[in-house]
Structure 1
């Protein structure tokens, strides 16, 4: 499943929102300054890379899907791209100052990811795990979309706890000063844009084609019934911690 997004790499790059600039300010503050080296795990097409480049530090991107990595390398020729899974990646000697992982931590092996992250960091280095959760500003929109998924799948659209990465770092006992932060943004999507966004979600991509078509058809009718536009509540959650010195 770590390569499921490569099927829609260009669409993913075009329609998926990035991350708020305030997140970078929080990372720098928690780290105690600008990190000297950065690794972007599960970098995809570079949605977080674009933000991390503002640090001015050298960046290595680790991305397992060659189709996503191709888009990433074309967008950001100044970064180093390693096309491999986190579990197969070899950190540089001495570790890195900042290990960032954007909307990819849940794809890593839950039995080893925290330990591997700790081992990849230099002493005192920072791990920053963040993701966008796609919610809705209007409860009526949330209900309409839930109704579509229940009609097709017999259940609401799946999700995971917002603070799952924070809880993962805390429970590992491997990091100091673990903190959580959140930001909300409220962009508006047309029906067509929301249908494109839906096609980049992993649960959607796991369905066979007839069920995908049923979901998209149901969502199109639901959103047109809401006026052809929907205001999202994009909730960005950050979990951050330090490797002990």
Structure 2
């Protein structure tokens, strides 16, 4: 089992997001239109967003006319999502009272790894209508080589052991799909959507601040790291960085009964 698939055992790390809920909403990129288009192509009548956070994925679907309900553990994140127009129920997905509701589509953006896989799979099977789909996806932002090399020097000095750009997997390869082999699910698929970002020094620092492993750093160490990164962007790269961004998707469909 990969360290990513064990992330639910470090659930306390997820609590760090609430302390930076406003930054998360401001600086975390949303998801590419190609992903939203692929979800719309499933023609869901209603959507459940597990771990909806500040509503990045939910609002994208709401704007396209879908009915979306969010479930979010952290009240501070849920408050921001509600402000963005998302209907949110505050609870952990594992203990959430679904009141007998079912959905055509379950999504989870940058969040499913925090869910206990055994409980999560059982709940997804109960919550999806026959033929419904669960889509789990996450963003990765790879820096250009000169920037990455410069940043690695900064991390070695200020935060050795912390990964540049966060600790999520760089592809679906090597990330076992916990739904594979489950009798309740079929039609397993993986997708990758490619896009790009150009970020100012302030925007990159704002994004990095929302990563859970960076939030776990001791305050003075984190401040020194962020200051050094900001100075590196301004002094060596003209104040901006570009990323090769990818959104990785794992899909499974509830079997027809």
Runs of 4+ in 1 over 6 A off after TM superposition: none
Query: CA offsets per residue over residues 128-153 of structure 1, 9 Å max, x none?
Result: 111111211x2111222222222223
Distance 1:218 1:75, change over 3 A: same
What is the DSSP-based 3-state SS (H/G/I as helix, E as strand, rest coil) of the residue aligned with 2:189?
strand
Match of 2:248 among 202, 219, 237: 237
Whether the aligned pair in 1 keeps the contact of 2:27 and 2:203 (CA below 8 Å) is yes
Query: Structure 1 residue 44 and structure 2 residue 50: aligned?
Result: no
Report the equivalent of 2:29.
17
Query: Structure 1 residue 151 and structure 2 residue 157: aligned?
Result: yes
Task: Write the distance in 2 (CA, Å) between the matches of 1:141 and 1:173.
Answer: 46
In structure 2, stretches of 5+ residues that fail to align are 1-12
Shift in Å at residue 166 of structure 1? Answer: 6.1
Report the equivalent of 2:7.
none
Give matches, 1:47-126, under 5 Å: 47-76=56-85, 79-93=86-100, 95-126=102-133
Shift in Å at residue 80 of structure 1? Answer: 2.3
Give the alignment's Cα RMSD to 1 decimal: 1.9
Using structure 2 for the length normalisation, give the TM-score: 0.86
Query: CA offsets per residue over residues 3-42 of structure 1, 9 Å max, x none?
Result: 211111111111111111111222233x3xx111110111
Task: Write the distance in 1 (CA, Å) between the matches of 2:19 and 2:124.
Answer: 28
What is the DSSP-based 3-state SS (H/G/I as helix, E as strand, rest coil) of the residue aligned with 1:187?
strand
Distance 1:110 1:60, change over 3 A: same
Distance 1:182 1:46, change over 3 A: same
In structure 1, stretches of 5+ residues that fail to align are none
Using structure 1 for the length normalisation, give the TM-score: 0.90
Distance 1:186 1:7, change over 3 A: same
